[in-house]
Amino acid sequence: MSKHRALFAAAALAAPLVLAALPACAQQTNLRIFVGGQQRPDVMRKILDLYQSRTPGVQVEVEVGGATSDQQQQYLNTVLTSHDSAIDVMLIDVIRPAQFAAAGWAEPLDSYLGSERDAIMARYLPAYREANIVNGKVIALPYFADAQFLYYRTDLLEKYKLQPPKTWEELSAAAKTILAGEKNPNLRGFSTAGAPIEGTVCTFLVPMWGAGGQFLNAQGKPDVGTAAGKKALQLWTDLKASGVTPANLAEIVTDRIRVDFQSGNLLFAMQWGYAWNRFQNDGDSVVKGKTNVVPLPGFAGNQPATCIGGWQIAVSAYSKHKQAAVNLLKFLSSPEISKMQAILASHLPVFAEVYQDPEVLKVNPWFQFARNVVVTGRSRPVSPDYPEVSEIIRTNINAFLAGTRSAEQAIADMNTRLTRVYR
Ligand code: GLC
């Protein structure tokens, strides 16, 4: 029973006559928010408890679903295409606002934000402000930022007197030295996403951008068959051939990288921000105090790149409680909650100033440089057809990593099919 209802019931028992004086309080709004398993529903619950304590008459239930960005979206596709009003608010990946806007799934927020609209949007880091405004309309508000970093085992690098690698070449050499020295059959050198999931799009784009490539050429057409695209795939071929990556890289989903690293079986991991908190706090983590984070490596002579990620909060166009949902959004997308998430979940802030907060830096010392990584990171292609773009890239990269498609075939197939999407 809610606090409010409990009070109401107690009042009813003690003094039935007073009841008639309380009808306005009896109004109760129930909201439901959809969150993926990887976005710390436990932390969301704590945040919502705080909201409920400050907002009498509103109860928010958390619905958790989907272990990957794609699975979450599959679920939302079903709910939203059937115009189901059961979900009021949903977390959506940073790649999705354009798709949500085109499908009419997210309630545009402009009229709710009113005269505060521009001031509210101006507070966010530019990449997140831009990602959430589609054709001039505010489609969602940022919840947390994200980027991929290189996590590494400080104890093992120190043992072999090695510095954290700045290039992929150094990473490969360090991994070979340590794997040969450790002779631990469970230890793998480096892992990243390889399964046919959203994260695998970045497994291609990061080294392609890092080799100087662009997703679209000057004419706005996909351009992945360049020397940079080939160099990206050659990197994974070489790391696999030298036994640095796990043999089953084509099965690795995002959260599996975290599990492998925190059980002590990975030396280097290309992973998103949330993993840090899990490494430090999970009961089964054996890497607490033996982990550090640095920017991803690049190729010698080129600027390193990273993929921008992150999660946004949208109001369903089919919600029956839109104003209450927008009120909740404003709270969830505030500096106060960004700080709370940073401390409880190492979710990267969407506000520049939260990166500097001493309490945030105390638990996440690497946030010192993380803001710059986020600000200089690259966005995946922005398009209402992004689901198709993603599917073309991730299935080809997955087949290439599984060894069922050559690098040439994967690149040729991506180029042909992406060109059709961007015609
Ligand atoms: C993280 C990122 C998200 C990305 C996903 C891929 O959750 O925040 O943007 O798409 O990982 O696995």
User: Does residue 273 have its Cβ closer than 6 Å to ligand 1?
Assistant: no
Q: How far is the CA of 26 from the centre of ligand 1 (A)?
A: 41
Closest ligand 1 atom, residue 144 Cα: 8
Matching residue, tokens 């998103």: 272
- Rounded to a whole number, what is the distance in angstroms from the first to the last CA of the chain? 56
- Specify the residue with its C-alpha closest to ligand 1, atom 9: 309
User: In the prediction, which pLDDT does 27 show?
Assistant: 85
Can you give the pTM of this predicted structure? Answer: 0.92
- Specify the residue with its C-alpha closest to ligand 1, atom 4: 309
The string of DSSP letters for 208-275 reads HHHTT--SB-TTS-B--SSHHHHHHHHHHHHHHHTT-S-TTGGG--HHHHHHHHHTT-EEEEEE-TTH
Can you name the residues that pair with 298 across neighbouring β-strands?
167
- Specify the residue with its C-alpha closest to ligand 1, atom 5: 199
User: Does residue 199 have its Cβ closer than 6 Å to ligand 1?
Assistant: yes
Matching residue, tokens 């109004």: 27
User: Does residue 272 have its Cβ closer than 6 Å to ligand 1?
Assistant: yes
User: Does residue 94 have its Cβ closer than 6 Å to ligand 1?
Assistant: yes
Going by CATH, does the domain composed of 3-145+308-376 fall within 3.30.450.20? no
Distance CA 225, CA 208 (A): 10
User: Does residue 254 have its Cβ closer than 6 Å to ligand 1?
Assistant: yes
Q: How far is the CA of 94 from the centre of ligand 1 (A)?
A: 8
User: In the prediction, which pLDDT does 9 show?
Assistant: 42
Closest ligand 1 atom, residue 307 Cα: 9
User: In the prediction, which pLDDT does 26 show?
Assistant: 61
User: In the prediction, which pLDDT does 4 show?
Assistant: 41
User: Does residue 255 have its Cβ closer than 6 Å to ligand 1?
Assistant: no
Q: How far is the CA of 226 from the centre of ligand 1 (A)?
A: 26
The string of DSSP letters for 276-320 reads HHHHHH-TT-S-TTSEEEEPPPB-TTS----BEEEEEEEEBTT-S
Q: How far is the CA of 331 from the centre of ligand 1 (A)?
A: 23
User: Does residue 107 have its Cβ closer than 6 Å to ligand 1?
Assistant: no
**CATH number for the domain whose boundaries are 147-307+380-421:** 3.40.190.10
User: Does residue 203 have its Cβ closer than 6 Å to ligand 1?
Assistant: no
| For ligand 1, mutation pick of 198, 203, 313 (most atoms within 8 Å of CB) | 198
| For ligand 1, mutation pick of 272, 374, 397 (most atoms within 8 Å of CB) | 272
- Specify the residue with its C-alpha closest to ligand 1, atom 1: 309
Q: Where in the chain is the domain with CATH 3.40.190.10?
A: 3-145+308-376, 147-307+380-421
Q: How far is the CA of 207 from the centre of ligand 1 (A)?
A: 17
User: In the prediction, which pLDDT does 25 show?
Assistant: 53
The two three-digit tokens of residue 408, written as one number: 């040439």
Write out the chain's pLDDT in tens, 423 residues.
344 444 434 433 433 333 444 445 568 999 999 999 999 999 999 999 999 999 999 999 999 999 899 999 999 999 999 999 999 999 999 999 999 999 999 999 999 999 999 999 999 999 999 999 999 999 999 999 999 999 999 999 999 999 999 999 999 999 999 999 999 999 999 999 999 999 999 999 999 999 999 999 999 899 999 999 999 999 999 999 999 999 999 999 999 999 999 999 999 999 999 999 999 999 999 999 999 999 999 999 999 999 999 999 999 999 999 999 999 999 999 999 999 999 999 999 999 999 999 999 999 999 999 999 999 999 999 899 999 999 999 999 999 999 999 999 999 999 999 999 998
Q: How far is the CA of 199 from the centre of ligand 1 (A)?
A: 6
